[in-house]
Structure 1
């Protein structure tokens, strides 16, 4: 195991906490510096604003942007930008930037009105059409920066953990194995390539435009839909158990029925996966057949 892999393994349990801490820290630092800058500008121009007002302006704006980060994360996960798809996705991202800006403005105005009311004053946003346009011209830059940061972070993680792909058909001569039913997947990691046997895949999870191949405690994203991957796996070994999961029957230790009609799968390594009721009976039959056949 390389030092990079060890670091990544140690980071994974803390990943969500680290990501949340980053965004909160970025919000606090940005709000602090922006507030100080506006207060200095107000004092230099001798404007009749109490110091608490610039703090309210900047804090309300930053807080709404912080609250909108999860939506941007989900959006970019559902429609990630790639070299071959970014042009087609530009209209969708442009529309998302408008929604981001409108939600940001409405939320921050509401917070400012509450803050002003607590001080016995009234907050006036001004001419709404003009102010919305003004805010959008600022917000679109924040939106682009947030999207770029999220994609850069994911790119680094993919480079560290490795990204899987299907073996391509050779330019000359017949393929060494069936392209329609591959026995191996190619994984690229930090400039190196290695093969992962299909039989070693324990389970697969859908993640937007990707399907994460789980192999011995590691996830290798494969740019494909789960349905497409399922059609290329051995149906005697792999089974669909949920709209977001495919499992290797060799790794299923127990099927636990639930009162809802669904089930919970317990894998041999201790992992639990959901099983929808529509797949439950078929899974039990296939798991029993596989065990009887010694698969």
Structure 2
């Protein structure tokens, strides 16, 4: 397949008129990406890189229709909200994908007002305002209220879509309730740490640094 870079850039220029500035734009054809323009939410794709199975690009090329999804891909180590469109370039089937942070997804249901957690053989509904943070550990999801851990069957990526706006994803394994943040500091490696009011320390991963700074305004 022979695609001229100037031709591919035209798609990017058209998209820039209506997508947010932080959006990244990718074009895929065959089994690889043929163009990538990084935005604020950068998945670090490269032209020539193979399409990962079950990515938005893969789903568009496989199904031949518009795809909208929030995915948490092991390849990228960070959730992303992607909208993919089937297009044709020089007669070849291709996929145009707009990549955004997951909070751009339109919620299909109202935010959680409570979470029901399990402790031993008991289940207890906890008001969402009392939840200080949520953690994914060893393929299980835990949330914490009054320093007590509760297990839930809802995966972190699904929780993220239905939590109120004061909850912030800071790491592949952590979501924090902003209301419980005491301070933000740096560790010995100059990485950011979020300290909660109860003394809990949670790391901010590089993948979420841009989102954390944007939401918290520093």
More helix by share: 1
Which structure's residues are more often strand, by fraction?
Answer: 2
TM-score, structure 1 normalization: 0.34
Q: Given the two structures, how large is their TM-score scaled by the length of structure 2?
A: 0.45
